[in-house]
Structure 1
Amino acid sequence: MPRRPLTRRTTVGSALCAPLVLAGCDIDPPVRDGGTSAAPAPPPDAELVAGVVGSLVRAQSVLEAATSSAPALGARLAAIGEAHAAHLDLLAGAVPGSGLPSAAPPKVPPRVDRALGAVRRSEQRLLREAREACAVAASGDLARVLASIAASTAQHSAALAGAPTGATPVEASP
């Protein structure tokens, strides 16, 4: 399956997300009073961003496990993997000093229908977590980025829900 071209929506979304990266990082370090050695406080949404990054890493690991166990899904899941990678690239640099977490590779059954079900459940979980994070973000820019991630994940979830699996569809868990 040929790769999809870069769309206007993706380009505009990326441009709108750029302020998050800049807002999350201090370009100029804060002025210290009296030579105190206390570390500066992390940005207000640092923990929230770290949680969403962890959710994206977990969802990415499910995609990789599904493609490994059921190679026939590789082309079908490629766009979702690319979207997760773009979201990770955007959010990973937003909090200074934080690294990209790792996720233990989940076990995904080798049958296409079961592997697709695992991906559906994973995407639903990511969607739920992105929506919750969007609602509690202190930064308006971050809330917009998280809303964009939630919208992207919702689109992928809808596409997966309508995708035939060759067997009885597996429902996503709440």
Structure 2
Amino acid sequence: MLESAQLPAWIIYCQALSTPAIALLACTIAYGQWKTAQRKIAYDLFEKRLAALRKFQSAVRNFEATDTFDVKVINELYPAIVGMKYLFGKDVEDRVDIATTAIKVRFWQKFEFSDQAPPDAMKHAPASEEIRKALRLFAEDEVIFDKYLRLAQTTR
């Protein structure tokens, strides 16, 4: 085997430069994988938010279309609203809290639990039409959801 003193100079230089070149290539590949993972997370979050919004809007349309406020409507609407609370920011969370209170109020009004007093938050219950209007505005408010439904939000 040849020692480094016996090797030609160009081979010694190639060996010396190949180590940093391989390290630079590894860093480039790692950076590309990191950016890909970041984009996937943003896309997954986008998909979940869009699905939650569509489910919520569908539930609100069904709620508006029915003349009766029954358990089926609640079972569709309430989970759709609560699910949004964890996918969006504080501004949407505040509206979610208002919407869930409205649903609870409407549920209380519909089924009239005569043996129990309504909670303080429900004593001044809004009329059914006001609840429908509030939910409709929430569901159709494109501005509040716009910043959350931009796919490029974390892919810079």
More helix by share: 2
TM over 0.5: no
Larger radius of gyration: 2
Instruction: Tell me the TM-score normalised to structure 1 length.
Output: 0.33
Instruction: Tell me the TM-score normalised to structure 2 length.
Output: 0.36
